Structure 1
Amino acid sequence: MKILLESNTALKSYHDNYKVGTDMKNISKYLSGTILGLSIAAASGTASAESYVTIGTGGQTGTYYVVGQTICRLVNNLKDSDIKCNAPSTGGSVANINGIRSGDLDLGVAQSDVGFNAMLGLKQFDTKFDDLRSVFSMHGEPLTIVASTKSGIKSFDDLKGKRVNVGNPGSGQRATMDTLMSFKGLDFGYFSLASELTSTEQSSALSDNNIDAFTIVTGHPSGLIQEATTVTEAKIIPVEGDDIDQLIKKYPYYAKATIPGGLYKGNPNDINTYGVVATIVTDKDTPDDVIYAITKAVFTNLDRIKKIHPAFAHLTEANMVEDGLSAPLHEGAKRYYRERGWIE
């Protein structure tokens, strides 16, 4: 399949050892149309009365927001349950994990690399987050670099001296760019400008000629990239080569990925890159029955979820229970997976 993150067993080894359219109208269709049609059966193991759950997501034009809204719609329609769920827009992966740690969020969507760093107290995190727990994974998220055609950028090396948006601090795209630049022995001085715009600001910045290129880590197709390539002439730039192969070898939460041609205007060919996996994470102290109910709601309705957004189309139970889960499984998720015979 395309937008496919190829298998990487190193992360599993680490884990064992630890024991859209161009505007918001399309997102609205997902959230008020297909999702509204989801009607789910009662989840056994009813959570305690009035359990309020907040799921951190990302920018409102991004896939993380759709993920959170989808889960909350399912949870809020649970029969015989008093769980109430909301999924506000947030700054992204790092912000979500920090929110879980501080108690401001109960769950969050986070890139697999950011979860890995949080567990070990690396990169964006000063201390280890030993209580971080995985629930399940979602879609693959390739690093995607979009450059205006007039910039002349055709490869990563062409970004030198250009105006590039590297993402706002706390976002998954920024975390990925930090790792990539460091691995290459570079810093953001490599660019003439390293702007820190949020994901929702990037498309207009490109069309207004305030930047030459932007980076994003996202599932495809992406409404944001559709907007960018429709409003202005822009190309998706490959991120590949021997150094990327070595990067993937060193960091087991990464994998090679391919963005299919034809998804975006002016981009007819497949683009090779690499990426992470979007995961749902929580704290170990989040009640087991709450996580159990959320997990059951998602997997009971997986066929419907796969139709909500193209990025979800290739989700499988097997991948969701294993791929990219940098933190140990939460006990509530384990309970459901054992019932299904997916884990021992």
Structure 2
Amino acid sequence: LDGHIDSILYGTMICPAPNIVNVNSQKQIKLLSLSDSAIDQIVKSNTGTIPYTIPAGTYKGVDYPVNGIATLCNIIVREDMPDDVAYSIVKTIAENFDRYPTVASAMSLAKKEEMDRDMGVPYHPGALKYYKEQGWIE
């Protein structure tokens, strides 16, 4: 290592991430952990992030855990989306929540009861109505 980053890959939804697997199939990779203090600082300043460790062995030749962060999934819609449409979207997601890890393994980190987590942006009134009905928000 010469002290320079050759590449950074961000925005992966699945672990192992196909883009990292692709690079790793051609070259040996080294994944770097974030320090505990960096993780704490990121999580405190970004409500949509959580600490996450990529397990050892997830990628070929990476036989150590890699400490970092994961970003929570959110849906951003136009503010003029009809309330009933936003409500239906949120309700459909909640009612089918247990199916998502079969589509994207990273979704196994998510919890249905945390769908109302404050992401730092206003809730759509339709989503807010559903969250209140579930008792997740007062």
**Cα 1:300–1:227, aligned 2, differ >3 Å: closer, same or farther?**
same
For the pair 1:317 / 2:108, whether they are aligned, the reply is: no
Give, as a single letter, the amino acid of the residue that structure 2 aligns with 1:213. S
Give the TM-score normalised by the residue count of structure 2. Answer: 0.82
1:262 to 47, 57, 65: 57
Give the whole-Å Cα distance in 1 for the aligned partners of 2:114 and 2:70.
Answer: 15
Distance apart, 1:230 and its partner CA: 1.9
- Residues 216, 261 of structure 1: alpha-carbon distance in 2 compared, 3 angstrom cutoff: same
1:297 aligns with 2:60: no
Work out whether residues 229 and 235 of structure 1, in 8 Å CA contact, stay in contact via their aligned partners in 2.
Answer: no
Structure 1 position 266, deviation (Å): 1.0
Cα gap change, 1:292 to 1:327, in 2 (>3 Å): same
Tell me the CA shift for residue 275 of structure 1.
4.4
- How far apart, CA to CA, are the structure 2 residues paired with 1:335 and 1:315? 21
1:184-233 residue CA offsets vs partner (Å, 9 max, x unmatched): xxxxxxxxxxxxxxxxxxxxxxxxxxxx3223132341111121212221
**Cα distance change, pair 339–225 in 1 and its aligned pair in 2 (3 A):** same
Partner of 1:235 in structure 2? Answer: 30
SS at match of 2:67: strand
Distance of aligned partners of 1:250 and 1:289 in 2 relative to their CA distance in 1, 3 Å threshold? closer
Q: State the TM-score, normalized to the length of structure 1.
A: 0.36
Write out per-residue CA displacement over residues 82-140 of structure 1, whole angstroms, 9 at most, x where no aligned residue. Answer: xxxxxxxxxxxxxxxxxxxxxxxxxxxxxxxxxxxxxxxxxxxxxxxxxxxxxxxxxxx
Gaps of 5+ in 1: 1-151, 165-211
Q: What is the CA–CA distance in structure 1 between the aligned matches of 2:58 and 2:125, rounded to whole Å? A: 39
Q: Does 1:213 align with 2:7?
A: yes
Between Structure 1 and Structure 2, whose CA radius of gyration is higher?
Answer: 1
Work out the CA distance in 2 between the residues paired with 1:295 and 1:255.
Answer: 22
Residues in 1 aligned to 2:131 and 2:100: alpha-carbon distance in whole angstroms? 18
2:73 corresponds to: 278
Alpha-carbon contact 1:259-1:271 (below 8 Å) kept: yes
Shift of 1:292: 0.9
- How far the C-alpha of 1:309 sits from its partner, in A, is 1.2
Q: 1:310 to 1:341 in 2, by over 3 A?
A: same
Q: Give the Å deviation of 1:341.
A: 2.3
Q: Which of the two has greater strand per residue? A: 1
Residues 133-177 of structure 1, C-alpha deviations (whole Å, 9 max, x = no match): xxxxxxxxxxxxxxxxxxx26xxxx22xxxx5xxxxxxxxxxxxx
Secondary structure of the 1:247 match is: helix
- Distance in 1 between residues matched to 2:115 and 2:126, nearest whole Å: 15
Which of the pair has the greater relative contact order for Cα pairs under 8 Å at 6+ separation?
A: 1
Instruction: Please report how far the alpha carbon of residue 239 of structure 1 lies from its aligned counterpart in structure 2 after TM superposition.
Output: 2.0
Q: Which runs of 5+ in 2 are unaligned?
A: none
Partner of 2:18: 223
- Aligned-pair identity in percent equals 29
Deviation by residue 1:246-291 (Cα, 9 ceiling, x = unmatched): 7337624344332211111111211112343232112322111111
Identify the residue that residue 251 of structure 1 maps to in structure 2. 45
In structure 1, distance between residues paired with 2:43 and 2:32? 22
